[in-house]
């Protein structure tokens, strides 16, 4: 099943530009087979097929689209252990994590099937005609959301299943009615091929046009860039580095027809420890914090990279407890040699920073394992050096001691946009928290209490997004059912005869969707 192939529509082909190879970061071993990068002609063909598939795919019955998403989920499960083993080998992530991630991947495909079935995402609205209105009769106006067009999806390295070829971006784009051209992440080509074939087969068994899905490899950056520049592509989903995300945003903006890019890029996820909570259970919070920090070797977008608290005995106790827990933490294998190298450089710079103290380092590891690091500094130093506010992707975190509540608020104000903020509080901290909430709302996409941002639920209310630069578009989420909204735009129909209206907007509502009629909700 692992042949070194990519998929241009239904066709399994090999690329011929350069070479992409998985590396087992646990062993350093280079994995077979080699994957060739796509040619420009292969990419062109994928985009052409996607454009051709767009109208038939989006006008297929919603039930067909829902069943297709479920077929993808089933095909992924049917890959069985081969998929799990390959993903473990290519990512260095433990088997249990990968099995969990497969569950999330399958779960979110099925959740989007449900979203497509109930049709609420269509945002159907009807303002009926008022032929007797003076001075002019009111026309009949009806609106629904339609998909944007073919979407480019860039697989992420840190979620080789849940945010890669069949991950959240692909699931939400396909659910919206957009064909997808996926660019495989070079760190897990075998995983990408397996999952890509699962989707390709689901397209075929669902009787959909082959262009609904293609998967291309890129041995450098040329194909990814050309994909975003292709005039047939109408939106982009990306999870990765700030540099990579901003490069794609720039290409998208410079097109003759600019398109939206949903790039999830970087976040240090401040954790705020209030005095009451520190007093009540500082050491327990420290243990939970270190557990969160070590998850997936710190390679979560929501890893707690920053701890903010008011200096004092409570924070000292927390710091000691966290330092002790961290010392015993085993180094985790990082996703790629490049990520490991960047992590080491980031941590070394922190350790050498003259106004930063090292609280503790985790156990040293071998090969591409990241040795955890916990550091500490004062608010003044933190405010003075923007480098201290940059993400270090991995198990590194910085404690910032603030003199008082206003200084803590200043530190929060100094932060760039973030995915999450976590507040640890006791009942006695409520008023302090209340004052800080408006500031946090302006800075982050998710505010959570007495927990950590790692472990993102895939549900209806989740927001995994946040102001720039945590994402390139803070009006959106890439996780949860609202992610579908990224790939939609409204179209209004005025006085269109009933026979020509889409079912969701017909008077009789044969599609049974919830609608807003004259501004009032009418359940389907």
Site for its own copies in 459-498 (CB under 8 A): 459-463, 465, 467-469, 472-475, 477, 481-482, 488-497
Binding mask 297-316 for its own copies (x = CB under 8 A): --------------------
Is residue 258 a contact point for its own copies (CB under 8 A)? yes
How are beta strands 488-494 and 35-37 bridged, if at all? unpaired
CB 196 within 8 Å of CB 182? yes
Is residue 437 a contact point for its own copies (CB under 8 A)? yes
Using DSSP, how many helices (H) and how many strands (E) does the chain show? 14, 23
Sole residue written with tokens 């090292």: 358
236, containing H or E segment: strand 235-239
Is residue 134 a contact point for its own copies (CB under 8 A)? no
Is residue 127 a contact point for its own copies (CB under 8 A)? yes
Is residue 507 a contact point for its own copies (CB under 8 A)? no
Q: How far apart are CA 316 and CA 312, in angstroms?
A: 6
**Interacting residues with its own copies between 56 and 75 (CB under 8 A):** 58-59
Strand residue runs (E) in 334-436: 357-361, 369-370, 373-378, 396-402, 418-424
Q: How far apart are CA 494 and CA 140, in angstroms?
A: 5
**Interacting residues with its own copies between 353 and 392 (CB under 8 A):** none
Smallest CA-to-CA distance from 89 within 35, 28, 34, 37 is with 28
**Interacting residues with its own copies between 397 and 436 (CB under 8 A):** 416-417, 430, 433-434
Residue (315 or 482) nearer to its own copies, CB: 482
Binding mask 10-49 for its own copies (x = CB under 8 A): ----------------------------------------
Is residue 441 a contact point for its own copies (CB under 8 A)? yes
Total residues belonging to the chain: 524
Least Cβ distance, residue 446 to its own copies (angstroms): 4
Catalytic positions, please? 264, 301
Least Cβ distance, residue 53 to its own copies (angstroms): 12
Question: Candidates 117-125, 175-183, 202-210, 404-412 — which segment interacts with its own copies by CB under 8 A?
Answer: 117-125
Is residue 132 a contact point for its own copies (CB under 8 A)? no
| Three state DSSP letters for 100-154 | HHHHHHHHHHHHHHHHHHHCHHHCCEEECCECCCCCCCECCEEEEEEECCCEEEE
Is residue 519 a contact point for its own copies (CB under 8 A)? yes
**Interacting residues with its own copies between 148 and 187 (CB under 8 A):** 148-149
Least Cβ distance, residue 459 to its own copies (angstroms): 4
Binding mask 200-239 for its own copies (x = CB under 8 A): ----------------------------------------
Which residue in the set 6, 161, 325, 447 belongs to the binding site for its own copies (CB under 8 A)? 447
Buried b (16+ CB within 10 A) or exposed e, 25-62: bbeeeebebbbbbbeeebbebbbbbbbbbbeebbebeb
CB 185 within 8 Å of CB 157? yes
Crossing angle (nearest 10°) for helices 80-91 and 95-118: 120
């Amino acid at each position: 099943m692992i042949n070194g192939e990519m998929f241009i529509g239904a066709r399994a082909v090999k690329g011929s530009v350069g070479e992409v190879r998985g590396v087992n970061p646990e062993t350093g071993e280079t994995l077979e087979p080699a994957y060739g990068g796509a040619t420009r002609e292969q990419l062109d063909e994928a985009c052409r097929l996607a454009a051709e598939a767009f109208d038939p795919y989006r006008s297929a019955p919603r039930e067909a689209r829902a069943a297709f998403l479920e077929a993808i989920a089933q095909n992924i499960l049917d890959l069985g252990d081969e998929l799990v083993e390959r993903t473990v080998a290519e990512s260095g992530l433990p088997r249990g994590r990968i099995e969990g991630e497969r569950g999330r991947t399958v779960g979110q495909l099925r959740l989007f099937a449900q979203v497509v079935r109930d049709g609420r995402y269509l945002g159907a609205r009807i303002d009926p005609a008022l032929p007797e209105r003076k001075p002019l009769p009111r026309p009949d106006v009806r609106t629904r959301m339609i998909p944007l067009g073919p979407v480019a999806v860039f697989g992420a390295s840190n979620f080789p299943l849940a945010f890669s070829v069949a991950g959240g971006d692909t699931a939400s784009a396909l659910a919206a009615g957009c064909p997808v051209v996926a660019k495989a992440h070079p760190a897990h080509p075998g995983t990408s091929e397996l999952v890509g074939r699962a989707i390709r087969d689901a397209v075929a068994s669902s009787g959909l046009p082959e262009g609904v899905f293609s998967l291309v490899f890129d041995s450098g950056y040329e194909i990814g860039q050309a994909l975003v520049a292709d005039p047939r592509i109408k939106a982009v989903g990306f999870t990765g580095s700030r540099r990579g995300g901003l490069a794609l945003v720039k290409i998208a903006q410079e097109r003759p027809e600019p398109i939206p890019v949903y790039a999830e890029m970087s976040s240090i996820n401040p954790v705020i420890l209030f005095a009451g909570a520190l007093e009540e259970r500082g050491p327990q919070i420290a243990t939970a914090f270190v557990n969160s920090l070590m998850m997936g070797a710190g390679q979560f977008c929501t890893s707690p990279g920053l701890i903010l608290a008011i200096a004092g005995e409570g924070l000292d106790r927390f710091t000691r407890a966290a330092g002790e827990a961290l010392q015993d933490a085993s180094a985790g294998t990082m996703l790629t040699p490049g990520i490991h190298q960047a992590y080491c450089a980031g941590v070394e710079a922190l350790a050498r920073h003259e106004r930063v103290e090292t609280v503790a380092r985790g156990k040293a590891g071998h090969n591409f394992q990241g040795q955890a690091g916990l550091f500490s500094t004062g608010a003044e130093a933190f405010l003075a050096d923007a480098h201290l506010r940059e993400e270090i992707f991995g198990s590194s975190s910085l404690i910032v001691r603030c003199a008082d509540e206003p200084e803590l608020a200043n530190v929060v104000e100094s932060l760039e946009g973030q995915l999450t903020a976590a507040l640890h509080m006791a009942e006695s901290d409520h008023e302090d928290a209340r004052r800080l909430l408006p500031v946090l709302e302006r800075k982050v996409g998710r505010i959570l209490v007495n927990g950590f941002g790692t472990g993102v639920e895939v549900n209806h209310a989740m927001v995994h997004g946040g102001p720039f630069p945590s994402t390139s578009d803070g009006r959106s989420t890439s996780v949860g059912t609202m992610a579908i909204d990224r790939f939609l735009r409204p179209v209004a129909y005025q006085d269109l005869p009933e026979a020509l209206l889409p079912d969701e907007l017909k008077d009789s509502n044969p599609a049974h969707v919830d609608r807003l009629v004259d501004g009032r909700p009418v359940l389907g």
